[in-house]
Amino acid sequence: MPTQTHRRRGELLTLALLCALLLSLALAAGCGGKGEGQPAQGDGVTQGDGAPAATSSADSPQTTSNISEEEAREVAERVLLQLKDFPVGWSQLPPDEDEDVQLDLPPECQTFWEQEEWPGTLVHVDSPEFEGPDEEEVDSGVAIYVDGEAAHQAYADGKTAIDLCREPLRVALVKYIEEGLRAEHPDANIEVVASTWDWLSFPPYGDESAALRWSLTMNVGAQPLVLYSDLIDWRVGRIEVSMGFDTRSEPPDLEEEQRLAQIIDERLGKAAKDSD
């Protein structure tokens, strides 16, 4: 499950990076009283004892696509979320530059963190970010591979890498967030008190699908701040899509996540036919 979303660098792993950026915004805004909340406690969304089963191999197939990159990009862009998909009160955020985050990771996880595209990727595109009235942020991404076999292999390899690197990444990202925010705000009492990164139960879509939730609880002075970031990812044929949904204080609204995922999935079905 390796697609990239708008503000995310490296496949699926920038859930935590997104939280780091949100934390910076929250501090800049003085936390405004929106940080009320309790540390995430297992809310019934974690699946069993680990990730979905995945197969993996060292090499993905390298074949020639039957559509051009330009044609694939046009197909991919039709799948992305648009402002019209959101309720009244949502807005589209201006483009934001990716942040090059350097983490202290084992070599195999460092490679995964820095990987921009998986073998067999033809194109990938990202939507803008959309912001809700309660500081929700949502974005989407689409990757089209040279064929369905390459897409399946990339998906399997991505899930395997996540299982291998999930804990080293969680530890490294917490360290990065704490050190970075303390350096920027030396007079503030900043402490990460809890962080989790778990597979998330979500209705299945497409040929294969998975979902992750990153949660982060920190104290900023006397103010608790809880952040959640969900990433839902699924594949139909050679096309993989992802949707990120980020909130403060309360977990993302499951009904709204499913509504938006259904919009994407309907577009994805048509796009999969157009890309065959």
Q: What is the mean pLDDT of residues 245-274?
A: 92
Q: Is 80 exceeded by the pLDDT of residue 31? A: no
Q: Is 90 exceeded by the pLDDT of residue 268? A: yes
**Terminal CA-CA length for the chain:** 20
How many whole angstroms separate alpha carbon 266 and alpha carbon 61?
28
Range with lowest mean pLDDT among 53-57, 73-77, 155-159, 257-261:
53-57
Q: What is the mean pLDDT of residues 252-267?
A: 96
Q: What is the mean pLDDT of residues 17-32?
A: 38
- Domains of the chain with bracketed CATH: 15-29+37-56+64-274 (3.40.1000)
Determine contact, residues 187/202, Cβ cutoff 8 Å. Answer: no
- What percent of the chain lies above the pLDDT cut of 70? 74
How many whole angstroms separate alpha carbon 13 and alpha carbon 112?
9
Q: What is the mean pLDDT of residues 249-276?
A: 91
Q: Is 90 exceeded by the pLDDT of residue 253? A: yes
- Which pLDDT does position 12 carry in this prediction? 33
How many whole angstroms separate alpha carbon 232 and alpha carbon 211?
4
> Could you read off the pLDDT of 212-240 as tens digits, one per residue?
998 989 887 777 888 899 999 999 999 99
How many whole angstroms separate alpha carbon 203 and alpha carbon 131?
24
> Could you read off the pLDDT of 65-88 as tens digits, one per residue?
788 899 999 999 999 999 999 999
Q: Is 50 exceeded by the pLDDT of residue 15? A: no
Q: Which residue has the higher pLDDT, 150 or 31?
A: 150
Instruction: Give the CA radius of gyration of the chain.
Output: 18
- Which pLDDT does position 260 carry in this prediction? 97
> Could you read off the pLDDT of 162-192 as tens digits, one per residue?
888 889 988 988 888 888 878 877 887 888 8
- Which pLDDT does position 64 carry in this prediction? 60
By C-alpha distance, which of 154, 153, 172 is closest to 113? 172
Please give the backbone phi and psi of residue 226, each rounded to the nearest 5 degrees, phi first.
Answer: -120, 130
By residue count, the chain amounts to 276
Determine contact, residues 79/265, Cβ cutoff 8 Å. Answer: no
How many whole angstroms separate alpha carbon 146 and alpha carbon 151?
8
Contacts of 192 (CB under 8 A, 6+ apart): 174, 177, 178, 216, 217, 218
How many whole angstroms separate alpha carbon 261 and alpha carbon 233?
9
In 30-155, beta strands by DSSP E: 91-92, 121-126, 130-131, 137-145
Distances (CA, A) of 67 to 74, 122, 238, 239: 11, 9, 12, 13
208: β partners? 235
Determine contact, residues 235/208, Cβ cutoff 8 Å. Answer: yes
Q: Is 70 exceeded by the pLDDT of residue 243? A: yes
Q: Give residue 1's pLDDT band: very low, low, confident or very high (50, 70, 90).
A: low
Alpha helices in 193-253 (DSSP H): none
> Could you read off the pLDDT of 83-117 as tens digits, one per residue?
999 999 999 998 766 666 778 899 888 888 877 78
Determine contact, residues 154/118, Cβ cutoff 8 Å. Answer: yes
- Which pLDDT does position 264 carry in this prediction? 97
Establish how many alpha carbons lie within 13 A of residue 199's alpha carbon, considering only the half-sphere containing its beta carbon. 16
User: CA 74 from chain center: how many Å?
Assistant: 22
> Could you read off the pLDDT of 137-156 as tens digits, one per residue?
999 999 999 999 999 999 89
